[in-house]
Amino acid sequence: MLAAGPLRTDRTPPSKPRCPPDRCVASAALPASPWLLASLQARVRARPWARTTRHYNLRMSKRAIAHCPRNAGLPALALVAAALGVAGCDGLQYVHHVAQAQFSINRETEPIADVLASGRLSAEDADKLRLIVKARDYAAGTMGLRAGTSYTTFYDTQGQPLAYNLSAARRDALLARTWSFPIVGEVPYLAFFDEDYLRRVERRLQDEGFDTLTYELDAYSTLGVFEDPVRSPMLKRGTLDLVETVIHELLHNTVWRNGATVFNESLATFVGRQGAIEFLRQEYGEDSGWPAVAVRFYADTDAVNAFLLRFYEDLAAYYGGPGTPEEKTAGREAVFAAWRTRFETDVLPLLNYPDSFRGYGRLPTNNAWVLANYRYNLDLHVFAQVYEAAGHNWAAALGVYRAAAAAPGDPFEYLRNWLRERAAAAAATRGGDDAGGPGG
């Protein structure tokens, strides 16, 4: 199982400091679906099956994709498939294609130093690769994230997509389709390295009555199981987005709770953002304009996330109301349409960089899209409050986040209880100081 990285749904971080708000956008093009611009999931493009899979050396024909693959290593993979709880041909096929692609990637990586020395990258891409190395070193050395050998090697996809993410949700409720895996537990998405296979699974889910969401991946975390290289599509990102992505992915290597995707992704979103601001401040200086651009952009992101949370709650109330599943599905477009209008009138005019978020005015009528936003951005302020209470000390804050991930029950509630207990202890200390003062 692969852990997805930071989700950017139609938001484009500013690519340069001190630029006019209407020009502070990344140079990367918007994806084909106008509402989705994912940070590790860039452009969705249809590609011929052979071209999509060729650079992974999958060696699987369309017939093998349509039926159970029959390769020498499949008996062992059958045991893994059984552990996944995805019995039979489907489970075996999925495990086979992911494992073979991942091992192929690992075989074809190169040390970053060799790639830079070869001179084959453009000057811009070489600078971005050096920036990734600096961000990795900062995340490991200053923040204390578990980096291992991640982002010390480079994998060139030769212009092909790296992989794809697929998620699904019921059309009459905000309920995600989930899959269970060893190590990571229950997750609401799957990664695919073959677009033809992806589309077949997507069509099957749609036939079963699910909304689906697919997008390209340009980065993901294997949670330290494999060496995570820099994948060449990452170099299409702007500076802020690139740094945030590196830190987001390394956080997954550091703190992970099985089956708690919303906690895992939301924590990585906060740590990636906060770490990016601090890195830019150290690397370029406050006067460079980069920290200020990042702070303003993330303030916009928070405003959009607050809007999307209100939308989520209103949509959940609609689905929880009277009516049959068919009636709710037929009537939901009116809810989506109303919130599209609200975004255009109530949110967009107040943003620092409105052009970076304009795509939210085209919210798709798709519950899988709604849930994707939700799982990456829940209660970020709770993580921020813990970091502040820990004295902006990453070692202390990460210790609390790890404890929340390891504790039974809701990890968000663990953090809220930790904050309440810390506030109560501080109040008691202040009260004791007052009582024991002069004349006490």
Q: Over the Cα atoms of the chain, what is R_g? A: 23
Question: How far out from the chain centre does Cα 321 lie?
Answer: 31
Share above pLDDT 90 across residues of the chain, in percent, rounded to a whole number: 64
> Is the full-model pTM beyond 0.95?
no
**Which residue has better confidence, 9 or 3?**
3
Phi, psi angle pair for 125, to nearest 5°: -70, -35
Is the predicted pLDDT of residue 25 greater than 70, yes or no?
no
- Tell me how far apart the 2 most distant CA atoms of the chain are, in Å: 88
Give the DSSP per-residue string, 172-227: SSS-B--EEETTTEEES-EEES-HHHHHHHHHHHHHTTEEEEEEEES-EE-TTSS-
Mean pLDDT of the residues in the chain? 81
Residues 61 and 318: their CA atoms lie apart, in Å, by 45
Q: Which pLDDT score, from 0 to 100, does residue 401 have?
A: 99
Q: What is the dihedral of CA 342, 345, 350, 355, to 10 degrees?
A: 90
Question: How does pLDDT run across 219-256, given as a tens digit for each residue?
Answer: 888 877 778 899 999 999 999 999 999 999 999 999 99
The residue with greater pLDDT, 296 or 218, is: 296
Percentage above 70 pLDDT, the chain: 77
Q: How far apart are CA 315 and CA 369, in angstroms?
A: 13
pLDDT of 77 over the 60 cut? no
The arithmetic mean of pLDDT across residues 33-53, rounded, is: 26
Contact predicate 277/295, CB 8 Å: yes
Residue whose pair of structure tokens reads 């939700």 in the numeric block: 374
**Higher pLDDT, residue 259 or 383:** 383
Long-range (24+ apart) CB contacts under 8 A made by 108-114 are: 108/155, 108/156, 109/153, 109/154, 109/155, 109/227, 109/229, 110/153, 110/154, 110/155, 110/156, 111/152, 111/153, 111/154, 112/151, 112/152, 112/153, 112/154, 112/230
Task: Report the Cα 63 to chain-centroid distance in Å.
Answer: 33
Mean pLDDT score, 83-107: 72
More reliable by pLDDT, 198 or 17: 198
- Residue 399 contacts by C-beta under 8 Å, 6 or more apart in sequence? none
Q: Are 24 and 58 in contact (CB under 8 A)?
A: no
pLDDT at 2 over 70: no
Of 46-55, 175-184, 315-324, 376-385, where does mean pLDDT reach its minimum?
46-55
Integer Cα distance of 251 and 273 in angstroms: 11
Q: Tell me the per-residue pLDDT of 171-201, one tens digit each, with 9 for 90 and over.
A: 999 999 998 876 667 889 899 999 999 999 9
What is the C-alpha separation between 13 and 5, in angstroms, rounded?
16
How does 367-379 read in b/e, with b if 16+ C-beta sit within 10 Å? Answer: bbbbbbbbbbbbb
Instruction: Give the pLDDT confidence of 203-215 residue by residue, as tens digits.
Output: 999 999 999 999 9
